[in-house]
Amino acid sequence: MLAAVLTWTALLAGCSGPLGPDGEPGAPAASRNVIHVTPADGSKAVRPGRRLRVRVPEGRLEKVTVVKSQDAQDSAVPGYISADGRTWRPDEDRLGLAAQYTVDVVAQDAEGRESARHTTFTTLVPDERFIGYVTPENRAVVGTGMIVSLAFNREITDRAAVARAVRVSAQPPVEIRPHWFGRTRLDFRPEQYWKPGTEVTVDLNLRDVQGAPGVYGLQDKTFAFTVGRSQVSLVDAASHTMQVRRDGRLLATVPITAGAPRNPTYNGKMVVMDMLDVTRMNSRTVGFGGEYDIPDVPHAMKLTDSGTFLHGNYWSPDAPGRVNVSHGCVGLRDVRGGSSDTPAGWFFDRSLIGDVIEVVNSDEKTVAPDNGLGGWNMTWQEWTANPAAE
């Protein structure tokens, strides 16, 4: 205990400044250094537009340490001191929301005397947040036509800020560009279908990005998926056939039935969005009234949001290859309960979410690019001519 007292006494003497004329400790030499930290010490509900700065009017900054406490975790805020030593700035200007910042500064004045400053401030806790639901799923293996699609739970008015906060990259590298569909959906794709084996990474740096007045992003996550083999199937509604090509090679020509004259199938490129071993199809859910209600449709592959499927058909066994009888779907011969030995089962077992189904020679218009993952129906010039994504 005595040693401790002596140590603290020595430290206090060492900090007390020069001795006076009578040998007693004199008054400490005051540093003329004034350390300015903004936002000010004790500030509350600081908005994200404010900038964190540390500066001194003379002398130089020796050390600046900033810690952000957010979501019960502490993290260092990296930054740098300017060449003249008088200003410190963080590497990223944007302040995190619902966070406490602690700033510790050591500086020297023009005569080499040190001073220190410790400040804290807290940032705004937003009332509203937005998130983006990502397609495809993390770690999925998908077909060559997959489009990265983000569906937001709130309308986005600052679409440029949100688009900048999402990064989609690929290995091997390829140019990937965003396109907005309205205010709640942002899609990404390359100019051509993905090459098989491509590894795609989606970085959502949306945390605290303002998507609309008073509405801030919540996510700071990374998703990744792998592009499997290439499979593109061409449905010819006039000849009632589907050519299935794997990596450019014809695997099979399969008989199909497409939409009847009153309800023709969409033309254009559609991407498999979901695969269901069996599902119920009720005409009332897609605007057809009470025309059908089939509780056990086998081998169903969803192609559009509006209800277009490629699926097994056991109730019209003679239609595939001969006549178009559906309400807009593409049907392949199947049996009730499904079987891998039927054309529908064979195709289902060899398909992936993200595979491309292209329909030609139908009497219907081309599917809209935002109806499912239909963005491949836009030219690259149309896709990239999207000012809100810049």
Same domain, 113 and 133: no
CB 308 within 8 A of CB 388: no
Cis peptide before 317 (omega within 30 of 0): no
Mean pLDDT of successive 10-residue segments in the chain (390 residues)?
36 38 44 84 93 96 96 94 97 92 95 94 95 96 98 96 97 97 97 98 96 95 97 98 97 97 96 96 71 87 96 95 95 94 97 98 97 98 79
Same domain, 276 and 366: yes
Residue 296 belongs to some domain of the structure: yes
Same domain, 340 and 275: yes
Same domain, 168 and 222: yes
Residue 4 belongs to some domain of the structure: no
Which CATH number fits the domain that encloses residue 97?
Answer: 2.60.40.3780
Residue 384 belongs to some domain of the structure: no
pLDDT of residue 72: 86
pLDDT of residue 343: 97
pLDDT of residue 49: 84
pLDDT of residue 61: 97
Which CATH number fits the domain that encloses residue 306?
Answer: 2.40.440.10
Q: Where a domain ends, among 208, 228, 248?
A: 228
| Structural domain that includes position 185 | 128-228
> What is the residue-wise DSSP string for 213-236?
TTEEE--EEEEEEEE---EEEEEE
pLDDT of residue 387: 65
CA distance readout (Å), 378 to 134, 189, 381, 385: 21, 11, 8, 11
φ, ψ dihedrals at 19, nearest 5°: -80, 150
Q: Structure pTM?
A: 0.81
CB 211 within 8 A of CB 132: no
Residues 6+ apart with CB under 8 A from 67: 74, 75, 76, 77, 101, 102
pLDDT of residue 23: 40
CA distance 362 to 365: 8
Same domain, 170 and 304: no
Residue 93 belongs to some domain of the structure: yes
Buried b / exposed e across 45-84, counting CB within 10 Å, b at 16+? ebebebebebbbeebbbeebebebbbeeeeeebebebeee
Same domain, 148 and 215: yes
pLDDT of residue 14: 37
pLDDT of residue 287: 66
The sheet carrying 166-171 orders its strands as 140-142, 220-227, 199-205, 166-171
Q: Where a domain ends, among 228, 245, 273?
A: 228
Residues 6+ apart with CB under 8 A from 112: none
* Token pair of 328 as six digits: 């807009």
Same domain, 348 and 236: yes
Residue 382 belongs to some domain of the structure: no
Q: Where a domain ends, among 63, 93, 122?
A: 122
CA distance 309 to 281: 10
CA distance 159 to 215: 12
* Residue 180 burial (CB count, 10 A): 19
Residue 71 belongs to some domain of the structure: yes
Active-site residue set: 311, 329
Residue 14 belongs to some domain of the structure: no
Burial class (CB in 10 A: 0-12, 13-18, 19+), 214: exposed
Which CATH number fits the domain that encloses residue 166?
Answer: 2.60.40.3710
Same domain, 252 and 133: no
State the Cα torsion 191-192-196-202 to the nearest 10°.
Answer: 30
Same domain, 211 and 282: no
CA distance 307 to 287: 10
**Number of separate domains in the chain:** 3
Same domain, 213 and 189: yes
Same domain, 143 and 275: no
Cα 91 → chain centroid: 22
Residue 40 belongs to some domain of the structure: yes
* Residues linked to residue 180 through DSSP beta bridges, in sequence order: 186
